[in-house]
Amino acid sequence: MKQINQFNGKKVLVLGLAKSGLAAATLLKKLGAVVTVNDGKPLEENEAARTLQAEGINVICGSHPLELLDEGFEVVVKNPGIPYSNPIISSAVMQGIPVITEIEIAGLISEAPFIGITGTNGKTTTTTLINEMMKQDGKGTVLAGNIGEVASEVVQRAKQDDCVVIELSSFQLMGIQTFRPHIAIITNIYDAHLDYHSSKEEYAGAKMNITKNQTEEDYLIINADQEALLSMADSSQAAVIPFSVNQKVENGAYIEEGTIFFQEEAIMHTADIALPGNHNLENILSAVAAVKLSGVSTEAICHVLKTFAGVRHRTQFVREWNGRKFYNDSKATNTLATKSALTAFKSPIVLLAGGLDRGNGFDDLLPYLTSVKAIIAFGETADKWKNTAAKAGISLFENADYMNDAVEKAVSLSEEGDVVLLSPSCASWDQYKTFEERGDIFINCVNRL
């Protein structure tokens, strides 16, 4: 960890706790800052706040009083989930007080270079692939960000010859000033998080912040199949490395005649990849580009791609039983994610779906249900799924009360050669605390068969 002085003696407000706020407050105190923490949860219910208070940090809990800014803070470190419309944040911006997220601090103290991954879809899978490929090749690597530990904790132990592989959200990237990854990846950009960002342009601009401090010594890996992204990359100072699943690209990663290439070098045949789905080819190409630029051997890349079956809860292969293959895609909490999962398979599919009713229907999935032979629905949206099944001409339909019931019915409606896919298209909160809990229960039910 680099020893820096820029926070020494400065008054810093940490707004919002959770894991990133707790880590930032602790680190800032270590760096000599005079830290005040403000969190909305009352102190008696706030273990993290009580921990910081015991360490001598000033803690204000239960509300976000606007007069806090009268105390003369020189920096505000905000939790990424707090929008810029928050009164304290908007007031700080108006007063010219720098507002950052904890990854900015992580970048300042890290001795190790960063590979930063952002985008609308595919971030977690791409990040995991890069980490696995680098580990397979014996390179020092640590996971950080949304998929791993808080960045400002990880970098304190990362060595100079390590690499910090970090998944980055638009929320985090809006709060950087000097953060500079050596290799940056933008997997793709679609409309998302418009309840947080004021416009699609602001959202895309936040994603592009990943390259704003890069120099000609750095690399920006981008999806060449998105023209808008290519145009935006023109403003980057980094060497642009394209990837494409649809065309050969110069100096980048692409697929030609069923083979993955990077800069004219054949890597492996796509038929040998364990990870299912055409949508995952984008993730694979961007990961291959990143690790080849990092000196990872083709042998290590091939080993991972032949054995890596997916990130937990994201089209994750669970098990084959009596000729049926079971996949857990519990992370699919909207129809866009389920579309990707459905197009990943050529075999007949028994689909397990349903969950929290947010008022939307599922008719936009109709063109993607052609391989679905049966639907088993649960939760608040079960009746909507029944209507969708009827419109799709799917006669095999069952309601299920709970996941064990759904898995038993999937077994009875499936046969050898079929795929049983949990891809709910809905949030889990009507029956489960999280999508992870829903997926774990599915996995347990399948493993008990």
Q: Does 325 carry a binding-site annotation?
A: no
Q: Does 122 carry a binding-site annotation?
A: yes
Q: Does 212 carry a binding-site annotation?
A: no
Q: Does 298 carry a binding-site annotation?
A: no
Which tokens go with 305? 């791609």
Q: Does 123 carry a binding-site annotation?
A: yes
Tell me the torsion sign for CA atoms 265, 270, 274, 277.
positive
Which tokens go with 251? 């100096």
Q: Does 444 carry a binding-site annotation?
A: no
Which tokens go with 41? 């949860």
Q: How many CB atoms lie within 10 A of CB 367?
A: 10
Q: Does 141 carry a binding-site annotation?
A: no
32: buried, middle or exposed (CB in 10 Å: 19+, 13-18, 0-12)?
middle
Query: What's the CA gap between 258 and 268, in Å, rounded?
Result: 9
Residues in the chain: 449
Annotated binding residues: 119-125
Annotated binding residues for ATP: 119-125
